[in-house]
Amino acid sequence: MVQLNKLKNFWKGKKVLITGHTGFKGSWLIIILNLLGAKIYGYSLKPKKISLFNQINGLDLVEKNFYYDINNFKKFKSKINQVKPSIIFHLAAQPLVIESYKNTLETFKTNIIGTGNLLEIIKKTKSVKSAILVTTDKVYKIKKNKNFFTELDELGGDDPYSASKASSEIIINSYIKSFYKNNHLKNKVATVRSGNVIGGGDYSKHRLVPDIINSINKKNRLIVRNPNSIRPWQHVIEPLIGYIILAQKQSIKNINSYPCWNFGPNSKNFLKVSHFLKVVNKYEKVNFKVLKKNPYLETRTLKLSNKKSKKKLGWEPVWDINNIIEKVLEWNKLKKQKFNIRKICEIQVRKYFESI
């Protein structure tokens, strides 16, 4: 596993563009890359007032900050040409399943066309040495009795969010095969798929962990939609370190492999929602009730195989479910005690590297 100081040797001074840097995962990514000494440029919609990005004073961590929509091709192109990034992490998206039912066309526009805009722009952006495009574990076609999804399994998606992300994977693959085989981006563009990432600072609606934190803080009853659904639980730091390792290795050598990667936890972290809540209750008592009828179609079981990332990248999940939940609850406790939130995040990143 790559150590912190070894990563610093590569990332110090690197020009990195992050789309969606004001989101939950984007905010954690800029914290990590800032610790590694990278020069970070952010392109995103403005964050909501209550957001991790604002709480860590994210503007202080980026060289330049661009608040624009990735669907605005002309503006997107001009800013990428201005920055001339070496590495790109594409996180900008509409990331919520339930939101995709309410704003379906906007979900398709952002997750498909917005991604297409980036792919078209970087065709002629010679500065780019590596691009990591983030999708989801929900891109796979669900099949009965399927134990673990590997990167070569068939794509699918019944709900609008999953369909939009599976579609973006197809478009990315098309650009790789149609345009990047014989130019500067040959073997330099990849998609990454991770599971249910959790951590401090997630304020998304209709997500289990933010709902649990709200229930703890406000002493409200938690509403659980799918207690028997199985999810690949992992702390947000874990897949982000995987993305960083992939971006680094991809930029300096050809990785002879199909350009999609799973970054899921080990099998012991594949738990039912009901089991996850039992673990939470070992640390904090949460009063909950199960919603009798869930009006939204959501995937019942999701399990990712992480064998490829382990073997070819040397990436390895570190924290088990107890470590993960402890870190989330610790983050919330320290926040309530008025600790500096950026420092809380940085301490947890350093603890992660110490655990390796």
Does pLDDT of 58 surpass 90? yes
Q: What is the pLDDT of residues 143-177, one digit of tens each?
A: 876 778 999 999 998 899 999 999 999 999 999 99
Q: What percent of the chain has pLDDT over 70?
A: 96
pLDDT at position 289, please? 85
CA angle 53, 57, 62 (to 5 degrees): 85
Asked whether 280 and 212 are in contact (CB, 8 A), the reply is yes
Average pLDDT in the 47-57 region? Answer: 96
pLDDT at position 295, please? 59
Q: Which range (80-89, 115-124, 202-211, 236-245) has the least confidence? A: 202-211
pLDDT mean across residues, the chain: 93
Answer yes or no: CATH 3.40.50.720 is held by domain 4-197+233-268+299-321.
Answer: yes
pLDDT-derived band of residue 299, with 50, 70 and 90 as boundaries?
low
Asked whether 224 and 291 are in contact (CB, 8 A), the reply is yes
Q: Could you state, in order of their start, the residue ranges of all structural domains in the chain?
A: 4-197+233-268+299-321
Q: Which range (220-234, 272-286, 303-317, 334-348) has the least confidence? A: 220-234
User: How crowded is residue 178: how many other Cβ atoms within 10 Å of its Cβ?
Assistant: 9
Q: What torsion do the CA atoms of 135, 141, 147, 148 make, to the nearest 10 degrees?
A: -30
Asked whether 258 and 133 are in contact (CB, 8 A), the reply is no
Does pLDDT of 322 surpass 80? yes
Q: Token pair for residue 95?
A: 């990331």
CA–CA separation, 18 and 79 (whole Å): 12
pLDDT-derived band of residue 296, with 50, 70 and 90 as boundaries?
low
Asked whether 115 and 168 are in contact (CB, 8 A), the reply is yes
Q: Token pair for residue 196?
A: 């249910």
pLDDT-derived band of residue 300, with 50, 70 and 90 as boundaries?
low
User: How crowded is residue 220: how many other Cβ atoms within 10 Å of its Cβ?
Assistant: 13
Rg (CA), the chain: 19
Does pLDDT of 92 surpass 70? yes
CA–CA separation, 201 and 52 (whole Å): 5
Q: What is the pLDDT of residues 248-275, one digit of tens each?
A: 999 998 887 789 999 999 989 999 999 9
| pTM, 2 dp | 0.95
Could you give the angle at which helices 115-122 and 73-83 cross, rounded to 10 degrees? 50
Q: What torsion do the CA atoms of 258, 262, 268, 272 make, to the nearest 10 degrees?
A: -130
CA–CA separation, 149 and 261 (whole Å): 11
Provide the edge-to-edge strand list for the sheet that holds 270-272: 196-198, 230-235, 270-272
Asked whether 118 and 162 are in contact (CB, 8 A), the reply is no
Q: What is the DSSP letter of 142?
A: P
Q: What is the DSSP letter of 149?
A: B
Average pLDDT in the 179-192 region? Answer: 95
User: How crowded is residue 223: how many other Cβ atoms within 10 Å of its Cβ?
Assistant: 12
Whose tokens are 């590694």? That residue is 36
Does pLDDT of 64 surpass 80? yes
Q: What percent of the chain has pLDDT over 90?
A: 80
Does pLDDT of 101 surpass 90? yes
Q: Is 233 exposed, middle or buried (0-12, 13-18, 19+ CB in 10 A)?
A: buried
Q: Which range (74-78, 139-143, 328-332) has the least confidence? A: 139-143
pLDDT at position 290, please? 84
Within a 13 Å sphere around the CA of 137, how many CA atoms are in the beta-carbon half? 26
pLDDT at position 264, please? 93
pLDDT at position 258, please? 86
